[in-house]
Every structure is written in structure tokens, then in C-alpha cells.
Structure 1
Amino acid sequence: MAAQPVTSVKDQSLDECVKEIILASSLHDLEKLEVYIDQHSFPDCKVVDVQDGETGHSPLHAAIASCRPAVNGSVAQDEGAKGEDVAATTVKFLLENGAIWNQVDHNDETPGCLAYRLGLFDLYQLMVDAGVRAEMLLSRLEEYGRLNDDESDDEDDGTEAEAEEEGETGENHEPETVDQTQTATVSTAQDVSSSFYLSSALALSNNKLLDDQQNGVMMAWESDIMRRSADALLSEPGMQILNIGFGMGIIDSYIQDHVNAPASHHIVEAHPAVLAEMRAKGWMEKRNVVVHSGKWQDVLPQLVAEGETFDAIYFDTFAESYSDFRDFFSEQVIGLLSQIGKWSFFNGMGADRQISYDVYQKVVEMDLFESGFDVEWDDVALPDLDQEWEGVRRKYWNVHSYRLPVCKFMD
């Protein structure tokens, strides 16, 4: 369809502007979109982030939805490809002008979710790449903020700490960050802090471990994942293995019962209730088990200082951020893993939706590479989990397969 003549938009109402922007996006009318970006502004969002009142579609949603296959499937393959190519140009234009990559519509779908559901995988990949760029930018801004904090602490020479002791508020040195709606889900408990979790009461049943807010800490459906993770790490008998995060003890039980039983099995666990359960079940008395009580941030540096090294390491904690995980492998694994050792982790980052899961796989790969690790992925099919969430506050897993990572030092 030919682009319509563009006139001034300054006299249009906000509702009229939103409708025209959404329509221009669906028609891939870049000329009209440029006019709105140049001539108009909204009080609470960018032009490229407006949302249709009825559907919640943003311009990105509209550009992708315009490639929706015909109901009767009569669209020719070359016509569909051509439409997707045109839409890709519009999607790139919107992203270049700052469109939020994972804004959700009234169906709780991001533009990438919509592309995935419609089978528009080239457009889906564009959205995944946009998510990776946004997450990497946030990561670097966070590192910049930490650096500024460290430098200001040195310069203050204790004066800020003294001010805090006196009840005064010190200067905030954190950088300005992009809109937080651009971040993917990081952990299975993104609104639960580590300190809150460690002070919460836990409820353990045969198939799940919940905190006192009914957040799933660990669930029995993860058992096959844990079994395959243990198999991937324990390649020969007599190894030394370290597991961070006991939880329900699923992977630790597989490690103990494995055909390649380890010579030494260290476990780091911080929650008092879990430690009490471990003690009651005799884990503290097992011949080859060493239990370290405390947070890994405190325990692992001490193990490094003592010269401990391991042939295999597994990591599965709760209520921690991606930056915590990055600190783990960039600062601690390097000092604890033998040069020919392997390590893995429970790969649940962003698992509430497919695009977030795909984004974090790429982000992790890039950060692992930067820290000197290779990673291989093994896809594990999952059963239907719909019945597993009864009594759990939030469904933290919503993708159809699990990607099991195995990491090692680069050759």
C-alpha cells in the first residue's frame, strides 16, 4: 500500500496521534513515523512506545502483527517473505529510535513473543538481538556504577560511612539507566531479595520447596535436569565436586548415588532451615561430604584462600540477580576449578517467557567468553508442567525445553 501524504501532526489529539502511529507502523510507513518522531512528543513515553488502547500494541507489535499469516493460509510463500522483509526494516527503524524491545501488550506478549507465536522467526531473531543489546548495556552501566562507587569510597576515606552512622544520606553514585521495563526476567524470584529469603520460613513437601510467600525455591519436576547435570559433570570416579545451593538436595543425591561416585563432595548452603533439614537427614555425617554453612560470597573466597580446587562445580541459588551469578563465574570459579574441570548451573534465567530465555542464553555466552570459558548446550525436553504449579505463587518456568550448560576453560 502506498504511503499517505504526510501533514503536520501538531493539531492532532493524543488519541489521534496514537492511532496514526500504530497505523503507520502496520503499513511500514517510515516517512510518517519520522514526522511523528520529529514533530510530536508524549508526556509519559516516546513516540515509538505508544500503545493502542484496545490491544496494547506498541509500534513494534503493529509492525510484526502486519505479517500475520492469512487465516486460510492462502498467502504465497514469496509474498510472506517479502512482507517480513519490509516489516524487518520498520522494526529496525523503531529500535534505532529507542523502542522498548520487551514492552507487553494486553495479551502479556512482547513484540518478540508475538513474532514467535506467528512463526516469524527472522523478526523474532531481531527482537532477541535487541534484547541482548539492552541487557549488555545495562550490565555495563551497572559495572560503571560499581566502579564509581568504589572510587568515591576511596576518595571519601570513610567520611560517607561516618555520615551514614550519623543518619545522614550519602550521595548516590549510581548511573542513570535505561527504562527498567527493558530488562528480561533475571531469576525465578526477581522480587525477593536474598536477605529476605534467608530469613524466611520454608515449607518442604515431597514435590516442592516454598518460601513463606509461596515462591517456588525448588520443585521435583527439575529432577531429570539435575540427573543429567550430574551425569555431565561426573565423567569418572573419584572426582572432587562442589555444589552451591542444596535446596531439596536433588542434585546432591544424584551425585552421591552416581556410578562415578566422587571422592569429595562439598556443599555450600546458607538457609538455616535447609541446613537443619540436612542435619536431620544425616548429610553432615556422610563420609565424603563437607557442608559449608553460609553464603557462597563468604565461603568461596575462603576455599580459594585454602587452596581448594574442584574437578566439577554446580551452581543453583535462589533470589539472586544475574550480576551475582556473573560475579560467581568471573571471580570465584576461576580460582576453584581445575584447569581441565567442568562446571554447570541451573539455567533458569528468563524462563518465564521464551524470548527472555533466548536473550539470556546469548548474554551468558558473551559474558562467559569474556571470562575465559567455553560453553556447550544440551537441549532437554520437558514434560507438561501445567499441573506442577498448584500452591505456587508464580509460574517461574514457561518454556518448553531446558538448555543444559556445560562450561570449561578455553583451550
Structure 2
Amino acid sequence: MDSDTEEKLLAVSLLSAAARHDNVAVKNLLRNTSANVQDAETGYTPLHAAIASCGVDEDGTTALSREAAAEETVKILFDNGAIWNDLDKNDETPGCIAYRLGLKNVYRLVVDAGVRAELLLSKLDGIKALEVEDEEDEDENEEEDEENAVDGTDESGARKRQKLEPEAPAEAAGAEPKVGLANDPVSTEPPEDYIDHWDSNADYLRSSLRYTDTTLLDSSSNAVMMDWETDIMGRHAEGLLPTKGLRAMNIGHGMGIVDTKIQTHSPLEHHIVEAHPAVLAHMKKNGWDKKPGVTIHEGRWQDVLPKLIEQGVVLDAIYYDTFAEDYKDLKYLFEECVIGLLDPSGRFGFYNGLGADRRVCYDVYKDVVEIDLLEAGFQTEWEDLPVPQIEWEGVRRPYWNVDVYRLPLCKFVD
């Protein structure tokens, strides 16, 4: 038997054993094959097979009696490196199947495995970043040694971190603020320069935006913000500003929904940080620069906030909702900036769209961010809000696919 045939036979055997919850066979087969093999027809991994085989009885209910057996198989697979979020041919992860079948215990196992994996990846990314910084330091020190040798001085023992220059703002790149007219027709066909995901915040800031009565769209007609978020934004403002006369900041103006809600709480100070020239133009068009107590900070928050910290600005409430940024940006914000701006009794919140394309990812990242916030010194309260029916007309890429919004309210640990 050639090696390819043997590998295929082992894969089929493992998938079958996982589906039967034959844990002895699963353990034996994992000695010679990966826990992440996939069925060519269904795309199932052993995790998918173990969970899906719980099945549905004739009366339409899930056979929960088989869940306990599935739990043990799932644990074995995770112990042997099974990937929690692999997709099958139906675009479902193992967690998606467990949630759909109502297997609460198995679903929790998948979420916990996802949390462990994401935290580990974050740690590894941090280690890699430190290694890159160390290499840059070494290169810089070598250059300094050469310069010092010419000057006759020796400072080779001093370590100095390289200061990274911030990305140039859109204005400096020659981009003109472009604001589309409301209700411009939207083609259903993606343009040749269609962008499904912005790889760089700097690229997004150089792009054009388009406002309609209900939506803010990017240059590819993907939604940046929509008015279905209005009630959610209102609840954020209520949680962050429990009384009037507080000092507030919103990072990312967008359609101005949360800033409008903040205004209803009569803040003593209302700081708005916004970097996109099109949004800034729209803000000024709507008179935000003339509202009493409002201060607009033009630029990326990564550049603006350190200056405000140096100036001794103190805030009672900080809210974050940007576009084309990743979780690592949010993490940097609360680890490095919020702690320098927020009053000891203040409150911090953010738009929680982390993993909102599917329920299992949403639950995983909720736990991940809560753990990271706690490590940074914040305790988090969560409020579940129902998500209304969303109309995606005119929007090419929906960004929400979960029936609940988990609203975070963060305070310093007592």
C-alpha cells in the first residue's frame, strides 16, 4: 500500500471512529494521523463528525443522549491539536453545528478551545514583535557603535528602542475628502477595484466614503456603519454617562450616532477623535465643530491620545468604534491609552463586533477580550441586547450575523 492510500485510509477511519464516538479507536488512529483531516465530500473534520453524528431524532429534537459520548471524543481531539474553527463545505465550524443542534456542553468545549487558541496566538504574536524589536535594536546599536567609533566615544552598552514614525494621514498623501451624495445608485456588481477587507487603516483613510440616509459606505459599498445600531449606541451612552456634566470622548465619529446620544447627557467636555477626511468634512457640514463643549481632534487616535495624556487630560467616559482596525488595535488602546486618560471612577466601552459573522466566534472573542481587559486592570460587565432585523439593501458585505449584541461596560478593578 502506497503512502497516499494509507493516509486516506487512516483519515476515513478516524472520521468514522469520531462519528461513532469510539474513543479507543480515535486515540489509536491519532498516533498516525492528524486530528484535522477533512472528508473530501462534506469537508468534515473529526470534530465536525463527532458533533454532527449526535444528529436529530425523528421528532425533530436533537439526540442529547449522545452528547456525553461526543464530549469525550471532542476532548480527545482537542488534546491532540484539533482546530476549533475549521469550516466544512456548508461554511460551518464544529461550534456552529453544536450550537445549531443545541449541544450546550459540547458548544462550551469548542468556545473554551477557541479562547485558548486565540490567547496563545496573541502571546506568540507578542513574542514575535519583541524579537523584531530586539533585532531592530541590535541593528540600531551597531549603527550607533560605528558612529561612536568615528566620534571616539563608546556607548555600546546603552539600549534604545527604535521610534516608529506614524503613518502619514490621508491629507498628507494628497487625498481629497470625498463624500458621496445620499441615495446615489449602487451597482450590484462589484467594481474592478472592489475591496472586501481593508488590509491597512492608512489605505482606508485615503479612500472615499459615501453617506446615505441610513448607512455610511466605503468605496466598495461595504457598510462602515448603519442606523440599525442606533438603540445600541444609545445604551452605550447611557452606561458610560450615568449622570450629566461628565467628561466624555468618542473615538470614531462615523455617522455621528453615538456622539448624538452622548450629547443628550449634557457632557461637560465632549472630545471626538476622527481621522477620515470625508467624515471630518461631514462633521463640519453638520456643525459639530460649533457645538458647545465639543472638541474635534483630527487624526488617528494612535497619534492624538498620547499627546492628550501628556497634556494631563482626564476623562470620565471613553468609547471606541473605528473601522479597518483589528483587535490588536483595541487591545493597545485599553492597555496603553485608556489607563492614561480615564479617571479612576471612569468607564470605558467599545463597539463589540468582534467575531460577529458567526455565533461561536462572537462568544470566543467575548471571553478573549474579557481576559485581556482583566489583565489590563479592568472588570467588565456585559449586557445582552437583541439585534433588530437588518436590511442589507445596497450593502455588498454584511458585517453582522448574530442575533444578540453583547454590550461591554468596563471599569477599573476595585
| Range class of TM-score, shorter chain | 0.7 to 0.9
Structure 2 matches for 1:319-358, cutoff 5 A?
Answer: 319-358=324-363
Between 1:123-132 and 1:28-37, the stretch displaced more is: 28-37
Distance 1:304 1:353 in 2: 37
Structure 2 matches for 1:139-150, cutoff 5 A?
Answer: 139-150=122-133
- Report the residue type matching 1:343 in the other structure: F
Give a deviation string over 1:82-107, Cα, whole Å, max 9, x none. Answer: 52111111111111111111001111
Assess if the C-alpha contact under 8 Å between 2:253 and 2:274 holds in 1: yes
Alignment length, in residue pairs?
Answer: 363
For structure 1, list consecutive stretches of 5 or more residues without a partner in the other structure: 1-7, 41-46, 162-188
Match of 1:133 among 116, 119, 139: 116
Distance 2:254 2:382 in 1: 24
* Displacement of 1:264: 0.8
Does residue 361 of structure 1 match 2:366? yes
Give a deviation string over 1:176-230, Cα, whole Å, max 9, x none. Answer: xxxxxxxxxxxxx754421111011001101111110222111111111111111
Match of 1:243 among 239, 242, 250: 250
Assess if the C-alpha contact under 8 Å between 1:246 and 1:252 holds in 2: yes
Distance 2:198 2:238 in 1: 33
Does residue 309 of structure 1 match 2:314? yes
2:166 is matched with none
Give a deviation string over 1:268-299, Cα, whole Å, max 9, x none. Answer: 00000000111111111112100000000000
Match of 2:19 among 7, 17, 26: 26
Assess if the C-alpha contact under 8 Å between 1:214 and 1:393 holds in 2: yes
- Report the residue type matching 1:401 in the other structure: V
1:254 is matched with 261
Distance 1:321 1:389 in 2: 23
Distance 1:306 1:403 in 2: 34
Does residue 217 of structure 1 match 2:224? yes
* Displacement of 1:393: 2.1
Match of 1:113 among 90, 96, 111: 96
Distance 2:284 2:115 in 1: 43
Assess if the C-alpha contact under 8 Å between 2:271 and 2:297 holds in 1: yes
Q: 1:129 to 1:191 in 2, by over 3 A?
A: farther
2:53 is matched with 66
2:152 is matched with none
Q: 1:39 to 1:255 in 2, by over 3 A?
A: closer
- Report the residue type matching 1:147 in the other structure: L
Distance 1:91 1:293 in 2: 50
- Report the residue type matching 1:49 in the other structure: N
Distance 1:94 1:28 in 2: 11
- Report the residue type matching 2:236 in the other structure: S
Give a deviation string over 1:8-43, Cα, whole Å, max 9, x none. Answer: 996845444332221111012233333333334xxx
Distance 1:10 1:351 in 2: 41
Distance 2:6 2:256 in 1: 60
Assess if the C-alpha contact under 8 Å between 2:27 and 2:76 holds in 1: no
SS of match in other structure, 1:38: coil
Assess if the C-alpha contact under 8 Å between 2:54 and 2:64 holds in 1: no
TM-score where L is the length of structure 1: 0.84
Does residue 197 of structure 1 match 2:200? no
Distance 2:328 2:99 in 1: 28
Q: 1:87 to 1:9 in 2, by over 3 A?
A: farther
Structure 2 matches for 1:394-409, cutoff 5 A?
Answer: 394-409=397-412
